[in-house]
A and B are shown apart, each in its own frame.
Chain A
Amino acid sequence: MTAMFQTESLCRTFKLPRTRVLGAHASRRALDNINLTVNPGDRLGIVGESGSGKTTLARLLLGLDVPTAGSVSFLGETLPLADMKSFRRQVQAVFQDPRSSLNPRMSVADIVREPLECLNIEESHSARVDESLAAVGLSKEICARFPHELSGGQRQRVAIARALASRPRLLIADEPVSALDVLIRDEVTAVLSGLTTNLGLTLIIISHDLKVIARLCDKILVLHRGIAVEHGAVADVFRSPTHEVTQRLIASVPRMPVARNAP
């Protein structure tokens, strides 16, 4: 089986602005020697505190950034591919806040259709738009509406539908529910979970919320200051975390007070 994504000794260093204290050549290693394999059908959660390198890793996987050292390969070929449009058709992204990731001046139909035009997909666009909206549980009537006319959950579902329009094999979602209200989180989580079972989509979820990871993922990568401190099956890592950072993350998840009757 060819791995969907494989990173080899992936590093990304950012130069810091020149300061009196640190001197001219100070730099910060955002990702340090990451070796990661994502197989087809995997549902991988990437977790860590802010500044741990989660988003940097996502940007490298999406080909939106270039490694300082090491490499990312997609289906055995090193990024950037000669045909990046084909890569974009197969790998799509969903971002944190649909209010900023959706163009407020475009109708829902235009938003979902846009990638089809950008990626030169010949097939009937309207059929693909309907198919994508159906996959996230939105009806066709919503097509003529604009983002401000939608609820938070509908907006994020439109963002997911847009990502699905090119029929990708893999979806990378960077904090897809953390900007949403609690009840809407459940709605969007259910949609994402359905996609992996119904469409066989490979999913990479970036989140600081372990409850989201528990629901959506079967594998987990824990980052701390750019280093992969733990990597394995979610159940194993949650049950017996070996690294102190993971233990702290799990222990600090807010929980409901213990003695309670289910309503």
Chain B
Amino acid sequence: MLLQVRGLTVRFGDDVVVDDVSFDLDSGQRLGIIGESGAGKTLTSLAVIGLLPDTASVQGSIVFDGVELLEKTDAEMTLLRGNRIGMVFQEPLTALNPLMRVGRQIAQPLRIHRGMRMKAALDRATELCARVGLPDPERMARMFPHQLSGGQRQRIGLAIALACGPSLLIADEPTSALDVTVQEEVLKLIDGLVKQEGSSLVFVSHDLPVVATMTERVAVMRGGKIVELADTRDLLDSPRHEYSQLLIRAANSSDDDFLNLARPGKT
């Protein structure tokens, strides 16, 4: 078991924002977390990598590779983040440092966690640019974030997250800020890279069709709770919770409306 979350509860004052959440993730497995805004998806994933704001109080247990993360100090978590656990955020423009060339940003985790020299780390960063499908990687590595398109920035975010070959990648709405055409490319890229690296994936999104194609297991969250946790296939075929049924019915019917128009040869 790579990740084992038990009874995770996050509070802001008296507000319970994540409520008794438990799930397991095997090595190489992909878990989707779906729900509406305020459901606790992002806070759950932030809790796993220890990036919750200081005002949050956390209870429960998060065991990663046999180690309890909630007992770790900030300094100890820093050794894991960007190393064994990588993370990609929704808005790549705010996730990247605007004052640093992207090559250096990719090189950073390699220097910190692998102790690589700058020259070697930068060379590796260029390789990673190529790996995430950026054309002309030497030139790309010398760019600043504002010089790149949204899709290119998110590819850089992925390169940073994957630089140290993490066992777990957490992607929080990684394509929600992107155009549909770019979204498709980035999803394929995440899919391919996770497969090649053999990493586990936690994929957070509000978009059911996207989650359903990216993951093999899905946790449906609402009001801080996981209301249903099932294999993706089973969830789509026979959702048990009323809220999952609503989500799936809505996604299917908007799919159908679109497909009925787009299907060629039908009048």
Q: Determine whether A253 belongs to the interface, using a CB cutoff of 8 Å to chain B.
A: yes
Least CB distance, A191 to chain B, in whole angstroms: 15
Q: Are B250 and A186 in contact (CB under 8 A)?
A: yes
A214 to B259, CA, bound (A): 9
Interface size on A, residues (CB 8 A): 33
- Selected from B232, B250, B259, the residue in CB contact (under 8 A) with A255 is B259
Q: Which of B10-18, B52-60, B178-186 is the interface stretch?
A: B178-186
Q: Determine whether B213 belongs to the interface, using a CB cutoff of 8 Å to chain A.
A: yes
Least CB distance, A11 to chain B, in whole angstroms: 24
Q: Are A254 and B245 in contact (CB under 8 A)?
A: no
Q: Are B180 and A209 in contact (CB under 8 A)?
A: yes
- A181-B36, A257-B213 are contacts. A238–B237 as well, Cβ < 8 Å? no
A210 to B247, CA, bound (A): 19
A263 to B234, CA, bound (A): 11
Q: Determine whether A242 belongs to the interface, using a CB cutoff of 8 Å to chain B.
A: no
Chain A residue at minimal CB-CB distance from B37: A181
A248 to B181, CA, bound (A): 7
Least CB distance, B140 to chain A, in whole angstroms: 17
Q: Are A50 and B239 in contact (CB under 8 A)?
A: no
Q: Determine whether A250 belongs to the interface, using a CB cutoff of 8 Å to chain B.
A: yes
A181 to B266, CA, bound (A): 31
- A181-B206, A263-B238 are contacts. A256–B212 as well, Cβ < 8 Å? yes
A211 to B208, CA, bound (A): 14
Least CB distance, B146 to chain A, in whole angstroms: 12
Q: Are B261 and A234 in contact (CB under 8 A)?
A: yes
Chain A residue at minimal CB-CB distance from B179: A49
Least CB distance, B202 to chain A, in whole angstroms: 19
Q: Are B208 and A257 in contact (CB under 8 A)?
A: no
Chain A residues with Cβ below 8 Å from B97 are none
Q: Which A positions have Cβ atoms within 8 angstroms of B?
A: 49-50, 152, 181-184, 186, 208-211, 214-215, 234-235, 238-240, 248-257, 260-263
